[in-house]
Structure 1
Amino acid sequence: MRILHVVESLAPRYGGPSVACPALCRELVRRGHEVAIYTTNVDGDRLLDVPLGQPIFEKGVEIRYFPGWIQPREYKLSLPLWRALREKTQSFDLAHIYSVYGFPTAAATHFCRIHGRPYLLHPHGSLDPYLRRRHQFRKWLYTKLLLRRSFRHASAILFNSSEEMRLAADWPGLNSPATNGRSAPKKSVAYVGVEDEWFEEANPAACERLMRKFPQLSERRLVVFFGRLNFKKGLDILARAFARVGSAREDVHLVLAGPDSEGYGHKVRGWLKEGGVLEKATYTGPLAGEDRFALMHAAEVFVLPSYTENFGTAVAEAMACAVPVVISDQVNIWPEVAQAGAGLVVRCDPKETAQALLALLDNPARGKEMGQRGGRLVAEKMTWRKVGEQMVEVYQEMLESAARVTQAS
């Protein structure tokens, strides 16, 4: 198959699709498919320093960046992307389109319809009720003018968990009726995958190098958060929960690892200072390569108290490293974590979060057992090999359905 992936941006600050899209594409190439990514160079209020309009090949995946407008930043407007989709969409068998509220989605679905190419819409959490309430009028207008039509003509809709699909079920545009001989879009679930290296044993030398970089972490029991410093991650909850944990135990240290591209870190530091635990917390900034693996393996507990979380890739990565997790019941893989016994699930509440962290810190044997269960869960269901297998089946069903419609007409 020749598959086009359309994503608003690959800038790391956006998380979610910007990370998952290239990883899935690499797996599809490994399986023998031709894959291209069309995207913009928008990176918040800046632009990525990348070649524009020409193909770049990364591990067999063709990537084309097109110049976008940084204002209005929410929509990733790009006339060159529009022209490229107009000219190239028909050369692909199908399209996989990420997110829903943006110019690339509107353009890609438009030209797929014109050229008769089946397409899959992948909301990546953007239909979550929590996010739908933000900028509500703007999203209502966009939905009425463009988005319902995009969903009505889609061949498939992909969710990253059953919980994400359940939460989106009341969105008016999701249950589109059959049209023009087509069946209603098929809804599927496929997890975000975890790279194979997360299952490797800890590297003692890498751990030593990390501790030399951050000596305050040595001989401490680490509570680790990996992710963007962003309002939706529940860092106000975490800071206030850790104030309770830090006052109860002298041997703990909170590590916050991830980009702070929105300047949210000063708020987090303020909350930690108010709680009297600023000296027991470290912000490492973004970590990559061996440092990222070393910190995760050094963690005693991983924590993510998000107000909304489409999947929680870092949760799956922690479980792959056999680290027990404490997550909110707004992280959409919480049912899987709870059922597997891989961690503790709490409400978005500082007291409950603190109690869960202390429960695992006070009982290392329990934490170790949960970590092992999490490792088995991810190995069985959340690797890119497993996800790639599922996605090939979804794509094949899309093509078969499109062929039946063509024959019937």
Structure 2
Amino acid sequence: MKVLHVIPSLSPTLGGPTQVALQIVKSLRHQGIDAEIVTTNYDETKLLDVPLNQCVEYQDVPVWFLPAFPHPFKEYIFSSALTRWLWQNIDRYDILDNHYLFSYASTCAGAIARCQKVPYTVRTQGQLSSWALKQSSLKKQFYTAIIERHNLNQAAAIHCTTLEEVEDLKKFGIKTPTITLPLGVDPPEQISSASAELHNLYNIPQEKLIILFLSRLHYKKRPNLLINSLNKIVAQNNNFHLIMAGSGEADYLNYLQKLVHKHQLTNHITFTGFITGRNKHLLLQGSDIFVLPSYSENFGIAVAEAMVAGLPVIITPGVQIAPEIATADAGIIIEDEAGLTNAITQLLNSEAMRSRLGKNAMVLANDKYAWKGIVSQLICSYQEIVNTLMSLSEISY
């Protein structure tokens, strides 16, 4: 079976979706499936420096990069080269796995797949949650009416990562069959001296507990809420240091830095920018608490990464794996700033609580979010779709 994953961009700065696409294809190939990715060279600030119009090994995965076309609606990521490539090559694949909604790559791939009778699936990636649909709502309503609803209705299946995402799809009026599989994480390579190394790397006193925010610096993720909470905590307990690891648009980053200065928290907060590789492993293994007070996350891959590293997590109900975390006693679910302030205070004051939640988090992540088992189920779903199409073709013949 030959599988093509279609995603608008693999820019590292786009966070979870990029990582997920690469990891799924890598895991598929480890299990004997001939899987590839087609995408563009789009990046948030500049074009990716990658070979174009050829299949290259990119982070151990075969990827076709096509040139993106600059235009005012940058989130749409148009590419005429991608259109030509898909039209000429799509029939070489047994099934397509399309990532994202409201974007040219998945829209174009779905349309061409229908013309050439190649089955495709779609990953909505939380873009149908009530919060997400309110963002740029008029553009999304227009796009839905003329393109996206048909694209979803004609898919062989919709990939959902949680039951909440399935409900979002139903509320949107889509009756296409769903495949509900969580995303996965791999246990990190252990760094025994991670805590000491992390403190030394950012010149943090060894006695300080490290709170980690690891995600894009975007208003959706509400890092400002975390900063405001720490402002309320510092007078009673200043035994912490927040590491904000992630990139963001310059204006929003400037707003956060001004907020830190306003609250006189400069000595308690470090902005690292985008982090990857060994330094990311240091962050996950050397920190003490993970916080993501996001408005909306269909899964929250960074949350799962924190859990598999044994960190207690503080998240909102908007992170759709929150019910599983609550059931497993693997973290604290908060609703607002007061709840966040209370949760951080509890964990700062109780090593036993941090240890209990962290151990439960690691167990949950290893039991439920292991790539090998998830991808095995995904392969079965692919095969069922391909077999169904073949059966229908034989009947038609």
Q: Secondary structure at the match of 2:207?
A: coil
Q: 1:12 to 1:60 in 2, by over 3 A?
A: closer
Q: Which residue does 2:41 correspond to in 1?
A: 41
CA distance in 2, matches of 1:128, 1:59: 31
2:84 alignment counterpart: 83
Quote the residue 1:201 is aligned against: 190
Match of 2:28 in 1: 28
1:141 Cα shift? 1.1
Counterpart mapping for 1:12-161 below 5 A: 12-58=12-58, 61-71=61-71, 72-161=73-162
Read off the aligned partner of 1:80 and give its amino acid letter.
A
Distance 1:217 1:21, change over 3 A: farther
Question: Which residues of 2 match residues 3-402 of structure 1 at below 5 A?
Answer: 3-58=3-58, 61-71=61-71, 72-172=73-173, 174-175=174-175, 185-197=176-188, 200-204=189-193, 206-347=194-335, 349-402=336-389
Q: Is the 8 Å Cα contact of residues 194 and 316 (structure 1) preserved in structure 2?
A: yes
**Structure 1 runs not aligned, ≥5 long:** 176-184
Q: Deviations over 1:30-76 (max 9, x none)?
A: 00111111101111242111111111024663201111123221211
Would you identify which runs of 4 or more consecutive aligned residues in structure 1 move more than 4 Å? none
Residues 187 and 366, structure 2, Cα contact 8 Å, conserved in 1: no
Number of aligned residue pairs: give it.
395
CA distance in 2, matches of 1:386, 1:249: 43
CA distance in 2, matches of 1:405, 1:245: 63
Cα drift, residue 127 of structure 1 = 1.1
* 1:45/1:73 contact within 8 Å kept: no
What SS is found at the alignment partner of 2:7?
strand
**How far apart are 1:219 and its partner, in Å?**
2.1
Equivalent position amino acid for 1:304 in 2: L
Quick one: distance in 2 between partners of 1:408 and 1:153? 20
Using the TM superposition, give the Cα deviation of residue 271 of structure 1 relative to its aligned residue in structure 2, in angstroms. Answer: 2.1
The CA RMSD measured in Å over matched residues stands at 1.6
8 Å Cα contact 2:16/2:302 also seen in 1: no
**TM-score scaled by length of structure 1:** 0.93
Q: What per-residue deviation string (whole Å, max 9, x for no partner) do you get for residues 209-235 of structure 1?
A: 433321125321111110111110011
The answer to whether the Cα contact below 8 Å between 1:46 and 1:70 also exists between their aligned partners in 2 is no
SS for the counterpart of 2:63 is strand
Q: What per-residue deviation string (whole Å, max 9, x for no partner) do you get for residues 10-47 of structure 1?
A: 00222232110011000000001111111011112421
Q: Distance in 2 between matches of 1:261 and 1:63?
A: 27
Unaligned runs of 5+ in 2: none
* Aligned-pair identity (%): 28
Please give the TM-score of this superposition, normalised by the length of structure 2.
Answer: 0.95
Q: For each residue in 1:235-259, what CA deviation from the matched residue of structure 2 results, as whole angstroms up to 9, or x when unmatched?
A: 1211111112222202111111112
Answer whether contact 1:26 1:59 (CA < 8 A) is retained.
no
